[in-house]
Structure 1
Amino acid sequence: MLAALVVLSACGLPRSGPNKNEIYAGAVERGGNAHVIYVNDHVTRATNFAPTYGFSNSFLRAGQVGADEIRSGDVLGLSIWENVDDGLLTALGSSSTALTEIQVDSAGYIFVPYAGRIRAAGNSPEQLRQIITDRLSAQTPDPQVTVSRVAGNGATVSVLGKVMAQGVYPIERPTRSLSAMLARAGGVSVEPEVAVVTVKRGNQQGKVWLTDLYGSRSNDIALRPGDIVLVEEDQRSFTALGALGGQTRVPLGNEAINGVEAIAMVGGLSSALADPTGVFVLRDEPESVASNVLGKPVNGMQRIAYVLDLTRPNGLFLARDFLIRDGDTVYVTEAPYVQFSKVLAAVTGSADSADSLTSIGD
């Protein structure tokens, strides 16, 4: 019987992954390439940072687009009244003429008969009206001019991604802010808790959680012509493996998740399998954080296996204070007796391994 136990122990019995001793064997101190670190108060302080999203000052300080400012690409409509029977532009017997759909060219100019080429971009409709009036006054007595924007193609924003209605939308008086433009696109098509909004402006970009956008007025930035608004579902996640209630990839969302919550999110430790002294968080730690954790300078990314021993007096407190980050692997080893029970079951062919072994001995 003992010989059979030894042989089976040496064989590859089914299990969920490496045991605690095998992970320890891969430590740097034993010739491996991973640092095995017990989590303590120093480690929680050194590692506890969560990525934050937000907009730079250039986004936050940008003023709203003037609702009346004319831009390249806008389409204008002009109406001109002349105080004579046979005017420059009006037909015989008519006192007015309408010039519809005059598009502001890429250089910002329009052409008005008898007034010539006039710079429209950067002016308000009222300012442009005065310029045209002054130009025509030299050729017809007391002209009266009105200017209106027919279409605002020159001040548009592209809204893409996880929204109800993707498209190119003009910046108008009601849609000059980020939240208003998202509402104009029908809102987001994913759960608000996992929605991330990115605004690309030239060579710059900033992003914010949707919940933070509505939670803080400062994040509701003013939009500028040519902005691209992209709504995505957050892809940050951790992987849960081993002797847990479930083995899966778990989205992190926009909340800070600690070790206790991460375990609970997959059903907790398996009471029949888990070793509470062997809860590991496997992570590639950046150089700055790794140096702080190890207490010495290191070069480059470091592989670290953080150990959460839940049987220690403050083990659960430390697990509660230890934050899980994007890309982490939470792995729980099996208790030592589990493999022994599997060996007994393989030898005796019974689930009640210890009782069967006693019966065989009798």
Structure 2
Amino acid sequence: MLIGWLARSVGLLVLLFLAACSGMPGPGPQALEISRLAAEENVSSAPLPYVLVPLDPLSVSLSNHYQPLGFQTEFRDAFGGSRAMTVGVGDRLTVNIWEPSVDGVFATSEKKQTSLTATVDEEGKIYIPYAGRVQAGGHHVEALRRAIEEALRGKAVEPQVQVLLEENASNKVVMLGDLAQPGQYAVPLNGLRLTEAIARAGGTKAPVFETVVTVARGRNRGTIRLDQVASLSGDNIWLAPNDTVIVQHQPRAFSAFGAVQQTGLHPFHAEKLSLAEALAQVKGLRDDRADAGGIFLFRFEALALADHYGKHRRHAGRTGEDVTPVVYRLDFSRPDAMFLAQKFMMKDKDVVYVANHPTAELGKFLSSIVSPMLGSARTVAALGD
């Protein structure tokens, strides 16, 4: 009789638990809760705080192949390739002067040409005999050549001038950080791209996919992963004189939470990591409480990529930058789920969350409360007999 009463009491407790389980705290949201707002999007005008995107062949392809330019417009458009080089303080120049007559001030009986070496002084000037101090700083090489010719006009016999930039001390970039040979490097007349500058500095100490590059130009700063620079030509920018390039070793990592075997922060062990490999790295899902239809990946994506997801984009919240929160959902009950997980590529700072199955809380309740009660009831009944 006691057992029957206890069983009825347990049944009542279970009903009460099921009625109140949605309000109980847990280790994270359930799949139904994450998807609820998306299901109500047609009946509500309030914008969603994120974009919910089911993983399918189209969304996997869009995510894997979309590569936004990492550097801002001012880094990509301000300079480009060969250009006139500006002379500056400290530059060493060779000035060749020709005269057609041996009676000229620079010509001799042996040759009609004189070579002069000059270094731009702290006031940006160089000294040329008979012409005096000529302003060189701030001028392009060709403009300086014409200025010297003009200064010698009437003093030399039909002078012809050539100016060669021998040591480019003022047009340099500074290379710092995790490089084999950090230091100052001159910007040649034909220009200097970011990858060329890193190569001149001996290359990076860490693998390319674990390296981040920051370019500081005046008040502007741009940061990008070096493997993106190597794969996307638009991010292999032309450097400008006085740029500072900082190379840092920053291994990529993702976070895992919820019903997985190993929660926490996990590094990328290879250049490329798929969602399937990431789940294997955390030792898979918890069989006792994981919801096979509730594997989620949280990521900030570019607004342009979110636009490709169609109607989801208009409900996305903005972060103040050109990115928006995106939640990808993988349903392992689909026959093609494992193939999708193998193709979907992880990115740095991704967050993987596996939701609890709705029955998981009930299972914990039964094992922690009901089973001990039934055991105690059987013991009391046995003593009564």
Q: Is structure 2 residue 329 aligned with structure 1 residue 307? A: yes
Query: Aligned with 1:17: secondary structure?
Result: coil
2:56 and 2:377 mapped to 1: Cα distance? 44
Compute the displacement of 1:267 (Å). 2.9
**C-alpha displacement of 1:157:** 0.8
1:153 paired with 2:169, answer yes
Look up the SS of the partner of 1:239 in the other structure.
strand
For the 8 Å contact 2:82–2:190, the answer to whether it is kept is no
- 1:259-298 equivalences in 2 (<5 Å): 259-282=275-298, 293=309, 295=311, 298=314
1:210 to 2:221 alignment: no
1:135–1:337 distance in 2 versus 1, CA, 3 Å: closer
Q: Pick the aligned partner of 2:354 from 332, 339, 344.
A: 332
Instruction: Tell me, in whole angstroms, the C-alpha distance in 1 between the residues paired with 2:77 and 2:301.
Output: 31
Change (3 A) 1:345 1:308: same
Q: Cα–Cα, structure 1 residues 320 and 162, in superposed 2: closer, same or farther, change >3 Å? A: same
Pairwise CA distance, 1:310: 0.8
2:229 maps to 1:229: no
Classify the secondary structure of the residue corresponding to 1:298.
Answer: helix
Question: Which structure 2 residues correspond to residues 1-362 of structure 1 after superposition, within 5 A?
Answer: 1-2=6-7, 3=9, 6=13, 9=17, 15-29=26-40, 33=48, 38-44=54-60, 48-53=64-69, 62-64=80-82, 71-76=87-92, 101-103=119-121, 105-106=123-124, 109-120=125-136, 121-123=139-141, 152-163=168-179, 166-171=182-187, 176-199=192-215, 209-211=225-227, 223-233=239-249, 238-250=254-266, 257-282=273-298, 293=309, 295=311, 298=314, 300-301=316-317, 305-324=327-346, 328-336=350-358, 338-347=360-369
Pair 222,104 (structure 1): closer, same or farther in 2 beyond 3 Å: farther
Cα deviation code 1:310-351 (max 9, x no counterpart):
12222222333445556653211234554334223322677x
Cα RMSD, aligned residues only? 5.5
Q: What is the CA–CA distance in structure 1 between the aligned matches of 2:266 and 2:120, rounded to whole Å?
A: 55
Look up the SS of the partner of 2:92 in the other structure: strand
Three-state SS of the structure 2 residue aligned to 1:262 is helix
The TM-score with structure 2 as length reference comes to: 0.61
In 2, Cα distance between the equivalents of 1:322 and 1:197? 26
Which amino acid letter does the alignment assign opposite residue 213 of structure 2?
A: V
Q: Which residue of 2 aligns with 1:84?
A: none
Kindly provide the CA deviation profile for residues 241-297 of structure 1, in whole angstroms up to 9, marking residues without a partner as x: 111132234567996654323323433223444232221234566666556546477
Number of equivalenced pairs: 342
* SS state at 1:16 partner: coil
Would the aligned equivalents of 2:10 and 2:370 in 1 still touch at CA under 8 Å? no
Q: Which amino acid aligns with 2:31?
A: K
> Shift in Å at residue 202 of structure 1?
6.9
Contact residue 298 and residue 352 of structure 2 kept, 8 A: yes
Q: CA, structure 1 residues 298+221, in 2 after alignment: closer, same or farther (shift >3 Å)?
A: closer
Q: What is aligned with 2:102?
A: none
Give, in angstroms, the shift of residue 192 of structure 1: 1.9
Q: Which moved more, 1:204-213 or 1:149-158?
A: 204-213
Give the Cα–Cα distance (whole angstroms) in 1 for the partners of residues 186 and 69 of structure 2: 26
Residues 334 and 196 (structure 1), Cα distance of their counterparts in 2 relative to 1, 3 Å cut = same
Q: CA deviation at 1:152?
A: 2.9
Q: Is the 1:64–1:177 contact (alpha carbons within 8 Å) kept by the matching residues of 2?
A: no
**Partner deviation per Cα, 1:190-209 (whole Å, 9 max, x = no partner):** 43212233545679887765
Q: Which amino acid aligns with 1:275?
A: D
> In the alignment, is the contact (CA less than 8 A) between 1:287 and 1:298 conserved in 2?
no
Measured in 1, the distance between the counterparts of 2:208 and 2:167 equals: 33
What is the aligned partner in structure 1 of residue 99 from structure 2?
A: none
| Alpha-carbon distance in 2 for matches of 1:299, 1:147 | 62
CA distance, structure 2, for counterparts of residue 345 and residue 297 of structure 1: 43
The DSSP-based 3-state class of the residue aligned with 1:197 is strand
8 Å CA contact 1:309, 1:315 repeated in 2: yes
- My pick for the range that moved more, 220-229 or 274-283, is 220-229
Residue identity in the other structure for 1:311: S
Alpha-carbon spacing, 1:43–1:146, altered in 2? closer, same or farther (3 Å): closer
Equivalent residue letter for 2:342: R
Q: In the superposition, relative to structure 1, how do residues 181 and 104 fare at CA in structure 2: closer, same or farther (>3 Å)?
A: farther
| SS of the residue 1:103 aligns to | coil
Alignment TM-score, normalising by the size of structure 1: 0.64
Q: Is the Cα contact below 8 Å between 1:53 and 1:207 reproduced in 2?
A: no
Identity of aligned residues (%): 27
